[in-house]
Amino acid sequence: MPVHADFDTFDVRKLVSSRRQFEGQIPLAAFIRLKDLLTTPDSVESLNAPPYMVDYRVEFGTDELKIPSVEITVKAELPLLCQRTLLPFNHPVAIRQRLGLLQDEADEAALPPDYEPMLIPADGRIRPLELVEDELIMAVPLVPYSPGTEMMEREWSPPGEETAAANPFAALGTLKKS
């Protein structure tokens, strides 16, 4: 499968200064790290076709406070396995995230409250679509379940006859009585 061009590496300083934008549509199958978290519908190839396409927009720039940032917008349907029914379902995802690009961790306190911190790598190079993949990975629920499924009872106790049969000392009780 060909690698999408936006998986190329770019200098983050140049991306910010030129206010570079990346947008488009890419198949879920292109995200190598994400694929392990998904259930594959019919075949892996089906992750290359609708509805398994990711609409994305990644915008680099500075805000009114001159903070270098990247805004990520993602819409997708993630095929997951419901842990209640063990049936596949599509989990809709709509993400809008703003990351403050930091040279040093100490600068995190200066970020506005609606920014998430992102430490720029030492070499200053990033892959824009890896940012999209990171957001999609974080959008996968820890325990996925399809909406509308019934929740199991929290406390389940077996019937009395099962408990008695499972007791290894029940046979000793009958011997003691005789």
Residues 109 and 119: their CA atoms lie apart, in Å, by 13
Residue 96's pLDDT is 97
Residues 67 and 16: their CA atoms lie apart, in Å, by 10
**Segment among 21-25, 81-85, 94-98, 136-140 with least mean pLDDT:** 81-85
Residue 3's pLDDT is 41
Residue that the structure tokens 């509308």 belong to: 148
| Residue-wise pLDDT tens digits, 135-168 | 999 999 999 988 877 766 566 666 666 655 566 6
**pLDDT at position 39 over 80:** yes
Q: Indicate the domain borders of the chain.
A: 5-177
Full-model pTM: 0.76
Mean pLDDT of 115-138: 93
- Tally Cβ neighbours within 10 Å of residue 55: 14
Beta pairing class for 68-81 and 53-62: antiparallel
